[in-house]
Amino acid sequence: MTMIITLIAAAVTFGTVLMYGTLGEILTEKSGNLNLGVEGIMYMGGAFGLFGAFYYEKAAGAAASGPLAIIIAILSALMAGMAASLIYSFITVTLRANQNVTGLALSIFGTGIGQFVGEYMRVREGGYVALSNNLKNAFSATIFPDFMVKIPVVGQILFSHTVFFYLAVVLAIIMFLFLKKTKYGMYLTAVGESPAVSDAAGINITLYKYLATVIGGGISAIGGMVYIMTTAGCVWNHEGLSGVGWLAVALVIFCIWRPLNAIWGSVLFGAMMIMYLRVTIPFIPTEIYKILPYIVTVIVLIFTSMKNSRDKQPPASLGLNYFREER
């Protein structure tokens, strides 16, 4: 029992990272932009998030406040992700370059920047860059009072997580409501399904694509920051972060582009990624667990295309650029 509870807690920790990456990419893909730069964006988010928090603490010294450090880390990551996606949007939406290639270029660029910032800080600060324990705890503490966490079973499962997890859940719900219940969410979906129809209906395609991609990139970047500040323990760790962005892209497919699915989907993926540390299933080598997320994603992909169920398809214009005169 305790093992399952610790497994769930650990799955949520890693799943939170994925949830941001995925929610951001869902928003982006809803506009028809397939941004394969998530890996790079999350690197940038991680590096700049740490950068922001570290220099805040350096400036504030002992007076540094946890909540403020968290806000600064979120904002730094957000800005970094938004800047990166702005480059992507400009090249694909305005200049109409191939989305796959641009996304991959962003991945290369972003991992480079992330690494660069990480190393730059290390060199500048002459070695180890980490937050004080005080702030570290702020990042990994839960927002619920102690007695709630201590409720048997439920406390650990529901109330023991970091503020980032609850924020991500709220974000997923907001995104769900935005896409389902608001006019602008509906317009965004329409843009991703058929830019031509949306254009004819008088919707500003370019604006929607830019906004969704830039905000989406910002959200994804927060995921990178969350990884560095929680799982990695407030130290730059590029090896741990590598591949997380791609996993987020897989999760988008697994969630069939629905934000609410991302909540449980990310915890499930998180569980599959960390399961090898805690669970052994006979005959299945633990290393194989790590490819399970990709395998189930492939299966989802195959089944939705075989059944051709229209509700579960990628946004119809995903990966294609829109050019009005081509009608």
Partner 1 sequence: MSEVRTPLFRLAKREAMSREKIWAIRVGSIIIALILGCIPIMLTGNNPISAYAVIVQGSVSRPIYIRQTVKIAIPLLGCALAIAPCFKMRFWNIGAEGQITMGAVAATFFALNFAKTIPSPLLLAIMFITAATAGGLWALIPAFFKAKWNTNETLFTLMMNYIAIGIVAWLQGGPWEGRKGSQLIPMFDDAARLPEVFRVHCGWIIVLLLVVLMYFYMNKTKQGFEIAVIGDSVNTARYAGMNVGWIIMRTMFISGAISGIVGFMIVSGANYTLYKGVANGVGFTSITVAWLSQLNSFAMIAISAMLAILEKGSNTLQTRLQVPASIADIITGILLFSMLASEFFINYKLIFRGRDKKEVNA
Partner 2 sequence: MDTKYAIEMKGITKRFGQVVANDSINLTIKRGEILALLGENGSGKTTLMNMLSGIYQPDEGEIYKDGKLIYIHSPREAYEHGIGMIHQHYKLIEVFTAAQNILLGLDEKMDIKGANLKVKEICERYGFDIEPTTKVYDMSVSQKQTVEIVKVLYRGAEILILDEPTAVLTPQETDTLFEVLRNMKKDGKAIVIITHKLNEVMEVSDKVAVLRKGEYIGTVETRNTNPQALTDMMVGHSVALNINRPLYENPHKKLVVENLTCVDEEGIKKLDNVSFIANTGEILGVAGISGSGQKELLEAIAGLYPVKNGSIRVVDDKDNETELVGKTPRKIREAGVGMAFVPEDRLGMGLVGSMGMTGNMLLRSWKNGKGAFLKKKEPENLANRVMEELEVVTPSIDFPVRRLSGGNVQKVLVGREISNEPSVLMTAYAVRGLDINTSYTIYNLLTEQKMKGAAVVYVGEDLDVLLELADRILVLCGGRVSGIVDARTTTKEEVGLMMTQIGEDVDE
By the criterion CB under 8 A, which residues form the site for partner 2? 181-183, 186-187, 189-190, 193-194, 196-198, 200-203, 310-311, 313, 316
Q: Which of 26, 70, 63 is nearest to 263 (CA)?
A: 26
Q: Which of 67, 114, 62 is nearest to 225 (CA)?
A: 114
Nearer to partner 1, 120 or 166 (CB): 120
Contact indicator for 53, 72 with CB cutoff of 8 Å = yes
Contact indicator for 55, 124 with CB cutoff of 8 Å = no
- Residue 123 partner contact from partner 2, partner 1, none using kind-dependent CB cut-offs of 5 to 8 Å: partner 1
- Residue 250 partner contact from partner 1, partner 2, none using kind-dependent CB cut-offs of 5 to 8 Å: partner 1
Question: What's the rounded Cα separation, in Å, for the pair 41 and 223?
Answer: 9
As beta bridge partners, residue 162 has: 142
Q: Measure Cα distances from 99 to 115, 249, 320 in Å.
A: 24, 14, 7
- Residue 187 partner contact from partner 1, partner 2, none using kind-dependent CB cut-offs of 5 to 8 Å: partner 2
Q: Which of 125, 122, 113 is nearest to 58 (CA)?
A: 125
Nearer to partner 2, 181 or 307 (CB): 181
Nearer to partner 2, 160 or 189 (CB): 189
**Minimum CB distance to partner 2, residue 103 (Å):** 24
**Minimum CB distance to partner 2, residue 193 (Å):** 5
Type of residue numbered 68 = L
R_g (Cα) of the chain, nearest Å: 20
**Minimum CB distance to partner 2, residue 93 (Å):** 20
Nearer to partner 2, 182 or 280 (CB): 182
- Residue 87 partner contact from partner 1, partner 2, none using kind-dependent CB cut-offs of 5 to 8 Å: partner 1
Residue 145 CB coordination number (10 Å):
9
Nearer to partner 2, 57 or 193 (CB): 193
Question: What's the rounded Cα separation, in Å, for the pair 222 and 27?
Answer: 14
Q: Which two tokens stand for residue 221?
A: 């970047």
SS3 at position 317? coil
Q: Which of 23, 48, 52 is nearest to 38 (CA)?
A: 23
- Residue 113 partner contact from partner 2, partner 1, none using kind-dependent CB cut-offs of 5 to 8 Å: partner 1
**Minimum CB distance to partner 2, residue 200 (Å):** 5
Nearer to partner 1, 123 or 153 (CB): 123
- Residue 311 partner contact from partner 2, partner 1, none using kind-dependent CB cut-offs of 5 to 8 Å: partner 2
**Contact set with partner 1 (CB under 8 A):** 34, 36, 40, 87, 90-91, 95-98, 100-102, 104-116, 119-120, 123, 243, 246-247, 249-250, 253, 285, 287-288, 290-291, 294-295, 297-298, 301-302, 305-306, 308, 314, 318-319, 323-325, 327
Question: What's the rounded Cα separation, in Å, for the pair 155 and 5?
Answer: 10
Q: Which of 321, 323, 318 is nearest to 34 (CA)?
A: 318
Nearer to partner 2, 124 or 183 (CB): 183
